[in-house]
Amino acid sequence: MTQSAIYLDHNATTQVRPEAVAAVSRALTEVGNPSSVHAAGRKARAVMEAAREAVAALVGGPASTVVFTSGGAEANALALESAVATGSRRLIVSAIEHATILETAKVSGAAVEVLPVDADGVADLAWLAERLGRWDAADGRPFVALMLANNETGVIQPVAAASEIVRAAEGWLHVDAIQAVGKIAVDSRALGADTLTFSGHKLGAPQGIGGLTFGPRATLVRRQHGGGHERGRRAGTENGPGIAGLGAAAIAARAYLETAAAQAAWRDAAAERVKAGGARVVGEGAARLPNTLCLAREGFDSDLQVMTLDLAGVMVSAGSACSSGKVKASHVLTAMGLGDLAATSLRVSGGWNTTEADWERFAEAWLEASHRLAGRRKELA
């Protein structure tokens, strides 16, 4: 009997939750622009504001500080570009940031420095403290971008400790929490984040909706002009159905957090099996998201692993899905000092509907592929 395919690429995008599907469906049957003052408009506004409250409860902070955007990329850009627009002329971004931060920083017009990480992918806070300790006032307010959890390795960063260092330098700390929200408890205020971003399709909402929350030390500057939407911070009629789905997903994600933590045991059991087959678990010495396993196997290129597993009915990815189609070493693993192993990385990520059996099947399929590779090498030797 042929087994059905399993999906273990939830860090790329996760299945829309039933609660979100229902919320989107309801919103699509209604008419009304949230900016209109008539009954239909007020109803649409009420749905949007209820969603804002639900998102605020998930990420921390008052609902009034939640700004909806088209997704995580726009939210990251809004935070970084706002910092530059308000005087930051030199940016510090960690070596493991998502491309939406790294690339936006490059084209921002500001100077860019890279915050290094150790072999487990954890930011070097001693470097950060030393660098901010000799900050040149001519460079304006320091801006530091440090993600909460890496999308490739799952490694969780010491954001709260970094915040103390940044605040002592009167800087702006931006936290990309896109992979963390919905998988671990996130409180932007407890973390000390001045801006913190999230994305709906990572936690069970539709694609095309996300946003950020900001603290009192951050000044957002509108980058899209033409209207007073989102309290004047982002012009453009809001994505009502997407926002409704995000609100429903946020409520479901809060209830799911305890179950999400339990998935670490399934991940770790699979990790032990692949390690016995010659794999190296990346970031194993650091705290990680419970759903994420990053491995590397000498001589087993990332793209070959992905294709082999796909043929076996197991869908995973090599690094960030945002770089799909590009056969090159992961910049995250390169920053961690993995050298040639960086081109052999594989990311396996579970989600809200992943089972223990899914992790077991992945391990079996990967071991079978690894053994076949070893066998072919012996034949050629």
Return the active site residues. Answer: 322
Strands in the chain per DSSP E? 6-7, 66-69, 90-94, 111-115, 143-145, 172-176, 195-199, 210-214, 280-281, 292-296, 314-315, 345-349
Strands (E), 217-356: 280-281, 292-296, 314-315, 345-349
Contact 342, 330 (CB under 8 A): yes
Neighbours of 13 (CB within 10 A): 17
Q: Is 219 exposed, middle or buried (0-12, 13-18, 19+ CB in 10 A)?
A: middle
Q: Which amino acid is at 119?
A: A
Token pair for 162: 């970094």
SS3 for 156? Answer: strand
Contact between residue 68 and residue 56 where contact means Cβ atoms under 8 Å apart: no
Query: Taking a C-beta distance cutoff of 8 angstroms, is the pair 162, 173 a contact?
Result: yes
SS3 380: helix
Burial class from Cβ neighbours inside 10 Å (0-12, 13-18, 19+) for residue 124 reads: middle
Structure tokens belonging to residue 374: 């070893």
Burial class (CB in 10 A: 0-12, 13-18, 19+), 127: middle
Rg (CA), the chain: 21
3-state secondary structure of 256: helix
CA–CA distance from 286 to each of 8, 157, 283 (Å)? 22, 9, 6
